[in-house]
Structure 1
Amino acid sequence: MDTALNIANRYELKELELNSLLEITQAINENMAEDSLYKIYNFTLRANLKLGKLMLLVQENGLWEQKLSFGTTKNYSADDNSTNHLINKRQILFAADLVDSPFEEFEVAIPVFHKNELLATVFLGGVANAEEKELIENHLNFIQALTNIIMVAIENKKMAREKLEQEVIAKEMEIAKKVQQLLFPKSLPESDHFKIDAHYSPHHTVGGDYYDWISIDENRKIVCIADVSGKGVPAALLMSNFQASLRTLLRKTTDLEEVINDLNHQVFESANGENFITCFIALIDLNEKKLTYVNAGHNPPFLVSSDGIIEKLETGTLVLGALREIPFLEIGSTEISTPQTLLLYTDGLTEAFNEQEEEFGPERVMEILSNYISATPEAIINAILKEIEAFIGKRALSDDITLLACKYHV
């Protein structure tokens, strides 16, 4: 009679396990959310095993997180070495193993693996009598398998989500790169009085560097360089809006005070004060023999005269878009009496670091310019690029580098 009863109990046990597995598998196939899978898992164990305590610790990015619990006395974490040491044991632990540990209120701790990697540990306890304890012990392999199925399904969900996020980011980067490429002039024309060259070295992420050369007429040219805070599509779109605004404004006026105030308004409205743009814009007027400019928080360009004097062009105002109204604005100017070379650049140049954590700095740029006073813009840029490459060595660039050199004379 006892044998027949044991056989019946074992049959019921296996039927219970099979039904639970089918229920969990169906939930996974229906692509239920992680929270729903945890709830079904919680209900399955508690309803079938008469548990008084249940807790599941899951490894997330190298840390242990309590994903679900029932009947426990505290919120568990695995911050200290003793806790980690216990959790990382690669075997089922019983009450005797858990004494004097943070988990001594439990009777069983079951590790769950996938491809030899520990994903989770489930803790069981609070059974009322020996019969219930035996029921749990008979279910140990089932509990381990059930937890493994749940955890692998959740891991797969995470991987799929991460892959999708990476694909979205990659697509955004592709769009941002295309937008950024459209910002740069397709060509830099030369004439008897102007010679121009430019270079852009992209970082591995998409930044917001921009340069432009705009011809007002034969003797008046606008040169501009800018850098937007932030990366990716938002930065690229903000800079695209900046470029469109600049070119529209220059169709009606070359008054730099009016241009800068309007640009600040456009950037502030577009970015809601959350992003800003550093900018340098200059009007080269060979009729008036004058260069006028505004530096809006940008790295000061260098103006090199044929006599070897190098001047930093710093006069201007704050970055654009940080405030609704510009609090002050000063227009800089310098006379054009001899041939001059104007070098514009973004902070990726001067803020590049070598393997010894030294910064390239503006002084090295000035030294190169001192050695290339009469050189062409192309030769100057090539010299700078050669020097920066030798300086950083095997270290990667931390930002975009944009250069524009212009040589002009009356």
Structure 2
Amino acid sequence: MIGFFTLFLYPGNTTFLKHERDTTKEEPSENDLIRLLLKRQAELNALLEVTLAINKNSAPTVLFEMLEVILRVNLNVGKMSLLVKEGSDYNCVTSYGISGDVQVNFDKVYEILTPLKTIASLRGHEDDYLRQYDFFVPVRHKNSTLAFVLIGDFNTTPELLSHELNYIQTLINIIVVALENKKLFRERVQRERFQRDIELAGEVQNMLVPTRFPKSDRFEIAATYLPHQNIGGDYFDFIRLNDKEFLWCIADVSGKGISAALLMANLQASLRAWTSVESNLDRLVTKLNEAVTKTTKGERFITLFLGKYNEETREMEYINAGHNAPIMIADSQATFLKQGTTLLGIFDELPFVQPGKLVLPDNALIFNYTDGLIESADEDVFVSEEELVEYLSQHCDLRSQQINKGILSEIQVSRNAKMHSDDITLFTLKIY
């Protein structure tokens, strides 16, 4: 025969059931029920006060002080340690009632406790430090243990133990998760602020490189710049020296991000300043090396290609300072423009400078690029110089901008910014 049950419900995860046929235990007296209700009301009030303090954005120290008062006064917990995860470690953020005589090996303690997922008894534990406590209470959120609390000298009745442990877990969960959410919010705000700064820096950097090139029936230029992040260390430029000559430049600063962008801006300023008074490439590259070395103290370097072209004589002079050799397609032949010197910023004085000199025929194509182009593919696809030569030879009749677009489309690096791990710059010059 199925009997009847009298249900006594308490907040939390514990439900006490009393079977009507169980005559071994006395029914709780009216005074017992009143005391229990008052205790539950005090627990609810404590949760409310903690929630209000969180909503008021109270400091963590205030919340920990409230926690200590609730545990000491409301729940008769004689000792407590709260350890919160910070990075890969757990740090004790608040504690009381702990003996300082016990030597603690926290690495061992963490090794013992971190695998535990539920409330566990520590009474009689083999570890001297953990033996001080009665219970381990984890605080988990989204399958991660954010914190755990160790409690000891816990003065409660066996009937209420389960409920009060769950209550402690709920209370600390509210505090720790709230603090974790605040931390995540601050980190998100910082990331958004940093991202806005990066975007602004990218806009400023874009002002340092030409977006338009002069139109002429003697030459045509197109450039494409794809920074890995919003800002980068690639640089290109076009400078009119006089009504007959112009200079172009492509460079790659070692490193990425803000530091590379700052060095790139320094290079741009130096190049612009020196070309206003010096058009000799030997002396110009020497001055640039001095400026870079002075700025970086040998800790960074720059690869650089400088080219100068005379529209009347069709003479071209260039210096390659350790840069990926531009590819020239002329008279159905491919030539790599390698002559020059070593990287800028490595030596106080360049050990040698050997400019290259050419006379360009009609319809010559000079394709300049940074190493992000050939280092941007994934493990299955690698863009080689031979592939670039083949593409340029087959499409040298296209306009400069079409060549750039075709190369990016051909090697599929422009479809997703995440596919390349470095800045990519293309600078295509056609001489008619």
Residue 331 (structure 1) aligned with residue 361 (structure 2): no
The answer as to whether partners of 2:375 and 2:420 remain within 8 angstroms in 1 is no
What is the number of equivalent residue pairs in this alignment?
396
2:370 matched residue in structure 1: 346
Give how far 1:123 is off.
1.6
Change beyond 3 A, Cα 1:269–1:315: closer
1:140 aligns with 165
* Letter of the structure 2 residue corresponding to residue 68 of structure 1: V
Distance in 2, Cα, partners of 1:33 & 1:268: 48
8 Å contact kept, 2:136–2:151: yes
Q: Which runs of 5+ in 1 are unaligned?
A: none
CA contact (8 A) 2:245 2:309 kept: yes
User: Could you tell me whether the CA contact under 8 Å between 1:209 and 1:400 is conserved in 2?
Assistant: yes
Q: How does 1:84-103 map to 2 (within 5 A)?
A: 84-86=114-116, 88-89=117-118, 92-95=119-122, 103=130
Q: Does 1:377 align with 2:400?
A: yes
Shift of 1:345: 0.4
- Please report the TM-score for the alignment, with normalisation by the length of structure 2: 0.74
2:20 equivalent in structure 1? none
> Which of 103, 106, 109 is 1:75 aligned to?
106
Counterparts of 1:168-179 in structure 2 under 5 Å?
Answer: 168-179=193-204
Q: Is the 8 A contact 1:183 1:243 kept in 2?
A: yes
- 2:327 maps to what in 1? 302
Q: Which amino acid aligns with 1:112?
A: V
Relative to the length of structure 1, the TM-score reads: 0.78
1:2-401 matched pairs, under 5 angstroms = 24=50, 28=54, 31-34=57-60, 36-37=61-62, 40=65, 43-44=68-69, 48=73, 54-59=80-85, 63=88, 65-68=90-93, 70=95, 71=98, 73-76=104-107, 83-86=113-116, 88-89=117-118, 92-95=119-122, 103=130, 106-113=133-140, 118-125=145-152, 127=153, 131=155, 137=161, 139-268=164-293, 275-286=300-311, 289-320=314-345, 325-336=348-359, 338-339=361-362, 340-354=364-378, 356=380, 358-373=381-396, 375-389=398-412, 396-401=419-424
Percent sequence identity over matched residues?
33
CA distance in 2, matches of 1:306, 1:374: 12
Name the CA distance, whole Å, in 2 between partners of 1:113 and 1:309: 64
Retained in 1: the 8 A contact 2:341–2:350?
no
* Structure 2 residues not aligned, in runs of 5+: 1-28
CA distance in 1, matches of 2:280, 2:105: 69
Q: 1:349, CA displacement in angstroms?
A: 0.6
8 A contact 1:208–1:230 mirrored in 2: yes
Amino acid at match of 1:403: L
Distance in 1 of aligned mates of 2:340 and 2:313: 20
Q: Comparing both structures, which one devotes a greater share of its residues to helix?
A: 1
Corresponding residue number in structure 1 for 2:26? none
Bigger radius of gyration among the two: 2
Let me know the Cα RMSD of the aligned residues: 4.1
Which AA in structure 2 matches 1:111?
A: P
- How far residue 352 of structure 1 moved from its aligned partner, in angstroms, is 1.7
Per the TM alignment, residue 110 of structure 1 is displaced from its structure 2 partner at its CA by 1.8
